[in-house]
Structure 1
C-alpha cells in the first residue's frame, strides 16, 4: 500500500516509521526545508537555540521504552527533574527529528495545494511541484491548514473539530555576551514579568557553546501583538526580557513567530478519520481518552502518529 503523509513533524515521522516497519511504501511531504515541525533548532553563530519545543516529558510506557532506546543511542538526555524528568536532545530538538526521519522518504520544500478523493478511492495530493496519488493519506499539519487543503471534503469533519482554535506564540532569540546565568538549570518559568512565559539559556541546557537565550511569550500577549510589525514586536520582547533578567550585552537578536503554537482545546481521540474517506487527521491535538495530562505536548504527538499507523495497518483490507 502506498501512503502519503502531509507534515514531517513528530506525528508524521512516527506514523511513517511504523508504516514502513509494516511494509508499506510511505512518503512524507513537508513544506519547510527540514523535518521536525515544532522540534525546531536554529544555528546562530557558534551556538544553537531551540525555539519550538523546549523539552519533553514522559507519562506512558510506550514512549518511555522509546526514550530509553534514544538515551542508549546518546540521542537524548535528562536536562533536569522537577518533579519528573525533562528530556532534551543532545544537539537540539530538531536533531532528534532528523535522526528519526533518516531512512524515510521525505519531499522537502514542497507545499500541498489541495487534496481530492478520486472515484476509485485513491487520494490525489496536488503540490506546487507535482501531483501525487496514495491509497491512504495522513494529514498532520495544524487543523486549520488541513481543512483548507481538504476544501469541500472538510464538510465531512465533525463541526466540533472544525471549530477548534489555536493560539500563536512569539519566541525571541538573543545572543548574549559574557557570563549569563538563567536560574539554576537554565530556565525561568515562574512569576515572570507579564507577557513572558519562560526564558531558556540554551548553553546551560547543554545544546549551545554560546549563551543563546530563547524567550517564549504568553498566549494572550502573542495574540495581542501578532499583527504588529516584527521590529516593534522584537523590541518589546527584548524590553521585557531585560526587565526580568537585568542589563545584558546583546550582539544579535531574532524573532520566531508560530501561528499555530498551541490548541486551545483538544480532541479526545488519538486521530480522526474524515468520514468514509481514506484520509486521517493526526497530531498533538489528538489525545487518547485516558490521557493523564489533558493538553497537547510531545507525547500526544508521538502517540497520535503511532495510533493512526496501527489503525491503517489493521484496516488495510477494508
Structure 2
C-alpha cells in the first residue's frame, strides 16, 4: 500500500474520539493541530480537585467489547492508567481510570500539543484548504479537518448546505447535572462505592473514598451525585444555587440528613445521546472533512474511541 504524503490536519475537540484520531494520524506521520474549548483535554474523562480530594465527575468506568478498544485498554493497563474493577453486585468486565480520569485523558493527549481553552468559532475554505478560526486567532493551510464537538456545536461549524447537516440535525441529547459533595463523615453512611437510584431526581451516588485505591484523607466523605436525566432536562437552564438546593434535598430524602462542608454542580448539557447515528464516523473525501464522537455510536467511552479509530483507518487506508 502506498503511504500517504504527510498532511496537515486540524482537529476540533479533544474528547476521546478527537484524541484517538489525533494520536493515530500523528503516529502515521501527519502534522496534527488539535484545539479544544475546555480547560483540559478528555471531554467527560475529567476530574475536579477542590481541596478535599479528587472527584471523577464525568465518565466513571468503562468496558471493552471490540478488539480495537481492547488493544487500547491493554496499553492503559500496562501503563497503570486503568484497572479492572468489580464492585459488590456488579458483573465483571469493568475498568476505571487511575489514579483518576484526568490522568488517563492526559496520557491520551501526551505529545499532541492540545490547544485548550480555545473555542473554535468558524471553518473556512481557502484555495482548497481549511482555515480554523477561534475569535481573533486563526490557523491556516489544513489539508483536512475533523470535528469532535457535540452535534449542536458541530452544526455551527459545518457549511450550511453540506449533506452532513441533514444527517446530524435529528440527533438529540439528555443532560446530566453532576453534584460533588464533601460531607462530614458519619457512621452508618453508604458503605458501597456505587448506588443506583431508579426514581426521582437522583440516578446515582458514588462514594469516591470507597473506590479502588481512593481513600478520604480527613474526617469527611467525598460524594458524587448524578441527577436523573428527567431532572437535568427539566432544570437544564436553572441557576446553580437552585440545582444544589433541589439535589441536596433529594439526597437527604433518600439517605438522611447530612452536614455539607462543600458543594458544587456541573451541567453536562450533552451527557447522553438519545438517538445515535449508528455509523462509526462521517467522512467527505472531496472536502476532506470528518466527524467523530459519541453522536455516532452512543455515549460509552468505547463508542467514542471506535469513532476516532474508524475515521483514522479510513483516512490512512482510503
Using the size of structure 2 for normalisation, the TM-score is 0.90
Moved more, 33-42 or 272-281: 272-281
Partners of 1:157 and 1:275 within 8 A in 2: no
**Is 1:65 paired with 2:68?**
no
Range moving further from structure 2, 204-213 or 180-189: 180-189
Instruction: Quickly say closer, same or farther: Cα 1:9–1:182, change in 2 above 3 A.
Output: farther
- Mark the CA change 1:180 to 1:236 in structure 2 (over 3 Å): closer, same or farther: farther
Partner of 1:240: 250
- 1:167 and 1:180, CA in 2 relative to 1: closer, same or farther beyond 3 A? farther
**CA distance in 1: counterparts of 2:79 and 2:206, whole angstroms:** 25
**Alignment partner of 1:45 out of 8, 28, 51:** 51
Give 1:304's aligned residue.
307
Q: Distance in 2 between matches of 1:208 and 1:14?
A: 31
Match of 1:114 among 101, 112, 122: 122
Q: List alignment gaps of at least 5 residues for structure 1.
A: 288-294
Secondary structure in structure 1 of the residue aligned to 2:304: helix
Query: Which of the numbers 154, 162, 171 marks the counterpart of 1:164?
Result: 171
Between the two proteins, the alignment pairs up a number of residues equal to 305
Structure 1 130/198 Cα, relative in aligned 2: closer, same or farther at 3 Å?
A: same
Displacement after TM superposition at 1:275 (Å)? 7.6
Q: Which consecutive unaligned segments of at least 5 residues does structure 2 have?
A: 1-6
Alpha-carbon separation, structure 1, partners of 2:160 and 2:202: 40
Paired residues for 1:121-200 under 5 Å = 121-133=128-140, 134-153=142-161, 155-157=162-164, 159-179=166-186, 185-191=192-198, 193-200=199-206
CA distance in 2 between counterparts of 1:272 and 1:217 reads 32
Q: Is this contact kept in 2: 1:182–1:199, CA < 8 A? A: no
Alignment match, 1:231: 241
> Which of 18, 37, 41 is 1:35 aligned to?
41
How far is 1:161 from its partner?
A: 2.1
Following TM superposition, by how much is the alpha carbon of 1:224 offset from its aligned partner in structure 2, in angstroms? 0.8
Aligned to 2:106: 98
Structure 1 residue 207 displacement after superposition: 3.9
4+ runs deviating over 6 angstroms? none
Task: Point out the more displaced range, 272-281 or 49-58.
Answer: 272-281
Note the C-alpha offset of 1:221.
1.1
8 Å CA contact retained: 2:271, 2:299:
no
TM-score (norm 1): 0.90
Which residue of 2 is the match for residue 292 of structure 1? none
Secondary structure, counterpart of 1:286 in structure 2: helix
Shift of residue 237 of structure 1? 0.7
| SS of alignment partner, residue 46 of structure 1 | coil
Q: How many Å separate the matches in 1 of 2:139 and 2:187? A: 50
Question: Which of 75, 87, 94 is the aligned partner of 1:86?
Answer: 94
In structure 1, what is the Cα distance between the partners aligned to 2:308 and 2:17?
4
